[in-house]
A and B are shown apart, each in its own frame.
Chain A
Amino acid sequence: MELRVTESADTELSIEIGGEDHTFMNVLKGALLESDDVTTATYDMNPEQSGGQTEPILTIKTREGVDPLEALEEAAGTVREKTTSFRESFEAAA
């Protein structure tokens, strides 16, 4: 996973996440939107045939005073907690 910041401001961040596709990006976006600190979260991905930017670019806007990078870190943690909790519930049922 290669990260490359394409745009950065106090409460706004655009970051390219290399090697990922909708599988992870949409889960991550969903986790970001669950946070009250995040006002906007979206990602853009183009098909391979487009010939342009094909790696997903994640754009985050946060509330005043919240570092978007920190929001991203927190969201990654949320995704991890979700998967752990899902696996535990699944194994308990299995």
Chain B
Amino acid sequence: MPGEYDVEFVERGDREARFLVRGATPAFANGIRRAMVADVPTMAIDEVRFIENSSVMFDEQLALRLGLVPLTTPPEGEFVEDDVVTLSLDVSGPATAYSRDLVSGDALVTPAEENVPIIELKEGQRLEVEADARIERGQTHAKHQGGVAVGYRHLQRVEVVGDLEEFEDEESRIVRGVIEDEGELLNAEEFDNDLAKRYPGKEVRVEDVPDAFVFHVETDGSFTVEELVTRAADSIEARADELEEAVQL
């Protein structure tokens, strides 16, 4: 029976979130995770023209650094492959060139992180470049990865099964991720990852909840977590559509 998912947020922010998905098969959960890492396209600098580089680093080294600066990625469909956004940077020493010094030709594509140092320039050194950003998938280069830390764990159900014997030593019982305690979701960090602290003097049983996955998603700032997850689902859907059509022919 397809569908019937149940999603619940445990923690949420723009760039980092934790949410529970119930009713997913391991294959589906992993498909979504992999799509978030390698298939959701983001903007990144791909070509750099150096007008002046009197810094201590080679052009190639600086080009790599510029490529790794995360850029905000416009809404789906706004850009297609081979569309180019030009950014320029002009910094004279003594100063440090930061990602915020990149001036974009398009308000939709700007550095997502302002304080990425690119290079420290000394007196008399200057860096002037023009860079083209392109939209690509993480598969081609890690700089196009929108999801930087994406993973999931099973939800764990904790049950109190009895009391510890009166004079028994309390041993710490470490768990990670998110636990479910009588329907309540709780990040294990809240009790120091130690069940002995949350249930002192109790004997507890921990078991994985089948088909319930707690995703932890962190983006590089190209877009929000919600955007990343929906785009990952879209990317799998687009392929399913394509396959269905191709088979019909």
Contacts and interface: CB of A to CB of B under 8 A. Distances in A.
Interface of A: 1, 3, 17, 20, 22-24, 26-31, 34, 69, 72-73, 76-87, 89-94
B161 interface: no
Please name the 9 residue pairs, one residue from A and one from B, whose CB atoms are nearest each other, closest first: A30-B27, A85-B3, A27-B31, A76-B244, A79-B240, A83-B237, A93-B7, A23-B34, A89-B5
A22 B8 CA distance: 27
Interface string B30-67: 11101100110000000000000000000000000000
A78 B240 CA distance: 9
B6 A83 contact: no
B5 A69 contact: no
Contact of B2 (A1, A85, A94): A85
A3 B39 CA distance: 20
A3 B241 contact: no
A20 B39 CA distance: 11
Contacts of A91: 226, 230
B239 interface: yes
29 contacts: A20-B239, A22-B34, A23-B39, A24-B31, A28-B240, A28-B243, A73-B248, A76-B240, A76-B241, A76-B247, A77-B240, A77-B244, A81-B3, A82-B3, A84-B3, A84-B237, A86-B24, A86-B233, A87-B233, A87-B237, A89-B7, A90-B7, A90-B19, A90-B21, A90-B226, A90-B230, A90-B233, A93-B7, A94-B7
Contact of B247 (A24, A73, A93, A94): A73
Counting chain A CB atoms within 10 Å of each CB, which of B7, B229, B240, B241 scores highest?
B240
A3 B236 CA distance: 17
Counting chain B CB atoms within 10 Å of each CB, which of A3, A83, A84, A89 scores highest?
A83
Contacts of B248: 73
B136 to A, nearest CB: 15
Contacts of B191: none
Contacts of B107: none
Nearest to A29: B27
Given A26-B27, A83-B236, A86-B32, A1 B6 contact: no
Nearest to A15: B247
Contacts of A85: 2-5
B25 A94 contact: no
Nearest to B20: A93
Contacts of B2: 31, 34, 78, 81-82, 85
Contact of A80 (B4, B244, B247): B244
Nearest to B231: A87
A24 B236 contact: yes
Contacts of A1: 239, 242-243, 246
B113 interface: no
Contacts of B39: 23
